[in-house]
């Protein structure tokens, strides 16, 4: 799929589940707004995976594996991971940034208090 197709899928995903962010992304220039949508779509999926059914700690492990593939340039064959891989490469996003997100999600999965 193309970048535009992947972003359209990410945008549809956020339109239903992240209305505030979706509305805010509309005021950004497209050159920044579309990458922000890709980044937030991954964050949204990651948060949903932790809040979903099943072992939440396992979900964190799966998210780390997805991030490994994204940073290796071989993302999973889904719109969110493909789009994020392009954003990571284009903007040279340092790996510790999304790792911090996953660390926070791991704390949630463990029931850790802040």
Q: Give the range with max mean pLDDT: 12-26, 27-41, 63-77.
A: 63-77
Whether 15 has a pLDDT exceeding 80, the answer reads yes
- Which pLDDT score, from 0 to 100, does residue 29 have? 84
Tens digits of residue pLDDT in 55-112: 676 888 999 999 999 999 999 999 999 999 999 999 999 999 999 999 988 888 777 7
User: Is pTM, for the whole model, over 0.75?
Assistant: yes
SS3 content of the chain, % helix, strand, coil (to 5): 75, 0, 25
CATH code of 30's domain? 1.10.600.10
* Domain tally, the chain: 1
Dig out the tokens for 36 from the structure.
């922000």
Give me the sign of the Cα torsion angle 111, 52, 39, 96. Answer: positive
Per-residue pLDDT at 18: 73
HSE toward the beta carbon, residue 33, CA cutoff 13 A: 14
- What pLDDT digit, counting tens, does each position of 43-70 carry? 999 988 888 766 676 888 999 999 999 9
User: Which comes out higher in pLDDT, residue 94 or 14?
Assistant: 94
Domain residues for the domain of 105 are 3-110
């Amino acid at each position: 799929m193309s970048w535009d197709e992947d972003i359209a899928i990410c945008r549809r995903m956020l339109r239903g589940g992240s209305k505030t962010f979706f509305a805010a992304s509309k005021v950004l220039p497209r050159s920044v707004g579309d990458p922000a949508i890709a980044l937030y779509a991954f964050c949204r999926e990651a948060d949903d995976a932790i809040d979903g059914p099943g072992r939440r700690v396992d979900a964190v492990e799966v998210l780390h594996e997805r991030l490994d593939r994204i940073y290796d340039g071989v993302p999973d064959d889904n719109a969110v991971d493909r789009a994020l891989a392009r954003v990571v490469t284009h903007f040279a996003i340092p790996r510790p940034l999304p790792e911090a997100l996953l660390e926070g999600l791991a704390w949630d999965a463990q029931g850790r208090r802040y």
